[in-house]
Amino acid sequence: MPFARLTYLFLCIIVLFSCSVNKFIPEGEYLLDDVEVVSNTNAAAATKAKGYVRQQPNSKWFSLVKVPMYTYALSGSDTTKWRNRTLQKLGEAPVIYDSDIAEISRRNIEQMLVNEGYLHATVDFDTVCDVNKKRTVATYYLHERERYYVSDIDVSTGDTAIETIIDSCSAESYLKPGMPFSVDNMEYERRRLTTILRNKGYWRFRKDYITFNADTTHHSNKVNLTMNVSLYAPSSNSPAIPHKVYRIGDISYISGAGLRLDETVLSGCDTMNLSGYTLLYKDGTIVHPRVLVENTYISSGELFSQDNIDRTYNAFAQLTALKYTTIRLVERTDTALLDCYIMYERSNRRSVGFELEGTNTAGDLGAAASVTFSDKNLFGGSELLSLRLFGAYEAVSDLSGYTGDSYTEYGADLSLRLLGGIASSFVPFDRRMQLSSTLFSLKFNSQERPEFSRRILSGSWSYMWSKRKDTQHKLDIIDLNYIYVPWISDTFKKEYLDSISNRNSILKYNYENLLITKLGYTYSYNSSLDAANRFNRVAYSLRAGVECSGNMLYAANNLFGGSTNSDGQYTFLNIAYAQYIKGDFDFTSRVKIDDRNSFVLHLGLGVAYPYGNSRILPFEKRYFSGGANGMRGWTVRSLGPGRYKNNGRSIDFINQSGDMKLDINLEYRSYLFWKLHSAVFVDAGNIWTIRAYDEQPGGMFDVGTFYKDIAFSYGLGLRFELDLFVFRLDAAMKAVNPAFTGSAKYPITNPKFSRDFALHFAIGYPF
């Protein structure tokens, strides 16, 4: 169809939709078509002011077209009809311009400018109406004028103890002479000082006790600022007195009382003394008293500290045996002591979960199922035991010469999480930690394929701790993996492992018995988990980890001698062991444009280097590219390394692995309607090998030419967001394919659907 006809058709559709919208606009009123904020001198202020506009126009898909409004417009006014109700529920009602709300927005913006130091700022407001189309555009014009700055800061308080504390921490103050006058900074200072004082025993202190007076100097843009700290007044008729410093009195734990605190509850409880602590309980103690004490950051005789209260809440929230926790502080009459009551209720101790899923690997269909049993209080110390049994079956096609035509897998995962635990002696422990736990796990996995049988037995001991909600550390003290290959098909051995003309060292290495003894450390950070950053437009998370394997065994073999196998590798208990070092870095940044649109940038880097006892990285530790969470223009494990091109055999996925990985992903996410969200994305990346392998021509990383090997893809995605899950469908096309040369390398200009298209279904966001 010629371009002119497409343009004409598009214009007709727009006109049709516009007419449909108009029937929902009352006579004499207008659709709010757009809102603009204009400042000739301060673009940052104009951007911030948009957040103070109370009435926004209808949302747009990808900030372009108001599809939700047009969807609503297709409905009729008779809401008794299912069709009309459905369209209105999926769509968005037209936003009718309201002059009263616009005036409130104008005043809010004006106040925002005053709060930023533009004390004489004004905001003008204007609308441009199209009577025929029943549309209007609202524009706010900002006139900031001169900005005011703080010249002097004075502190006025009748409480010398509090004044001393304020002076001691003045270096961290949000208020400095010479800074722009800012109401926000004054509010930050109120919160900062309130936090400090409440952590130094001032239980009754609130930020409302702190006020400010601002005196503007005549004929100048200077402000003399005075911070007033009021004395404590028990009641409106009582004289003001200095604020009292409180200490913690008796500490009691109450279980099974319904989180109520009264004389009836207290008198009906059994009592147990715990060397300074009192346990009151009904229907059992739920967890061992030692666990309660170890997770309490409040001590009798200490100054009251809000931070210690919060840490105790966070620690009790990690006790899986408990469902609810509340902390009550009761002031003793005519004293400065606070009796503390920590009240909690039990959670459901045992649970059973079942999962069933279908699989599709390159057209081969299958199914997988698992059942999980959990016990949240195994030994009475809120230990979490989890046992998972799983199995899978999948048809295997295109394997001529083999007796079987299916793939089966089964196994079991057993894990036990202890609070604190034995590993705490390896890591400096202090009372600031939010969470400390030790995890033991055992795993067994059995794989039966037409080509081979494989068994994997794993055991690990790791320790996790954190001092802040947004940060976590994990230390893998030991992680043992024994890979055992009891059977290999004669056809597979002949074609891939033993044939002189077709011998593949990477394949051969990964189908031999192997021991992996991993040590590792992982650091994780997520800014959105910190309450102070919860409402920021920009949020980011990062994860960095390093691991190594085989170094202690290799050192022992070199020091004391050891046996070697036919490939010259040292062995332990007649099993060759892997030796390598590996590092990973993952960064994600989310930029919120508005309530319905956001940008997400993801960067993933990984490097692993086999050395000493290993020339090739173990298959389980190699990098792969392609799939729903990386390069979405390729199916799982079908990209790279480098310029390597798949030979078309199903077993070739072994060769499509490497020692280095780069992933760069950019997504524009937009809300559509109801529970549907969408995304437009671009992916770039690849994998490479550190050494040159004959089986992977073009796969080695070269500093001077690696950029030529970077693959690109683009696509569209749908996300169905439920309360507990996000179902995701991503459709992608290859844009640059380094496996080809010439014009075939750039399918973005000459796409071939059967070759360049990939569809992915997944649960959860890709990053």
Domain final residue pick, 300, 323, 346: 346
User: In this predicted structure, what is the pLDDT of residue 17?
Assistant: 53
The amino acid occupying position 53 is V
Q: Model confidence at 422, in pLDDT bands (50, 70, 90)? A: low
Per-residue pLDDT tens for 484-530? Answer: 989 888 887 777 676 545 556 676 777 788 999 999 999 999 988 77
Asked if residue 286 is part of any domain, the answer here is yes
Domain final residue pick, 303, 322, 346: 346
Helix (H) or strand (E) holding 659: none
Per-residue pLDDT tens for 580-625? Answer: 999 999 999 999 887 788 999 999 999 999 999 998 898 889 999 9
Domain carrying residue 50: 3-58+94-143
Out of 67-81, 298-312, 420-434, 727-741, least confident range = 420-434
Q: Is 379 helix (H, G, I), strand (E, B) or coil?
A: coil
In this structure, are 24 and 122 located in the same domain? yes
User: In this predicted structure, what is the pLDDT of residue 264?
Assistant: 64
Q: Is 166 helix (H, G, I), strand (E, B) or coil?
A: helix
Contacts of 606 (CB under 8 A, 6+ apart): 582, 583, 584, 585, 623, 660, 661
| Number of domains present in the structure of the chain | 4
Answer whether residue 434 shows pLDDT above 60: no
In this structure, are 215 and 159 located in the same domain? yes
State if pTM tops 0.85: no
Q: Could you tell me the CATH number of the domain that includes residue 43?
A: 3.10.20.310
Instruction: Give the mean pLDDT of the chain.
Output: 86
Q: Is 90 helix (H, G, I), strand (E, B) or coil?
A: helix
Per-residue pLDDT tens for 134-143? Answer: 999 999 999 9
In this structure, are 272 and 338 located in the same domain? yes
Asked if residue 547 is part of any domain, the answer here is no
User: In this predicted structure, what is the pLDDT of residue 504?
Assistant: 63
Answer whether residue 200 shows pLDDT above 70: yes
Per-residue pLDDT tens for 553-586? Answer: 999 988 888 888 888 889 998 899 999 999 999 9
Angle between helices 183-198 and 160-168 (to 10 degrees): 110
Phi and psi torsions of 449, nearest 5°: -125, 165
Answer whether residue 464 shows pLDDT above 60: yes
In this structure, are 8 and 33 located in the same domain? yes
Asked if residue 509 is part of any domain, the answer here is no
Nearest Cα neighbor of 522 from 439, 604, 585, 435 is: 585
In this structure, are 401 and 439 located in the same domain? yes
- Enter the tokens of residue 752: 């071939």
Per-residue pLDDT tens for 615-640? Answer: 889 888 999 999 889 999 998 888 98
Round to whole Å and give the CA distance between 206 and 329: 16
Domain final residue pick, 143, 169, 184: 143
- Backbone dihedral region of 380: left (phi > 0), alpha (psi from -120 to 50 degrees) or beta? left
Angle between helices 183-198 and 99-115 (to 10 degrees): 70
In this structure, are 205 and 268 located in the same domain? no
Per-residue pLDDT tens for 6-19? Answer: 444 444 455 445 55
In this structure, are 391 and 280 located in the same domain? no
Round to whole Å and give the CA distance between 116 and 107: 14
In this structure, are 139 and 22 located in the same domain? yes
In this structure, are 420 and 334 located in the same domain? no
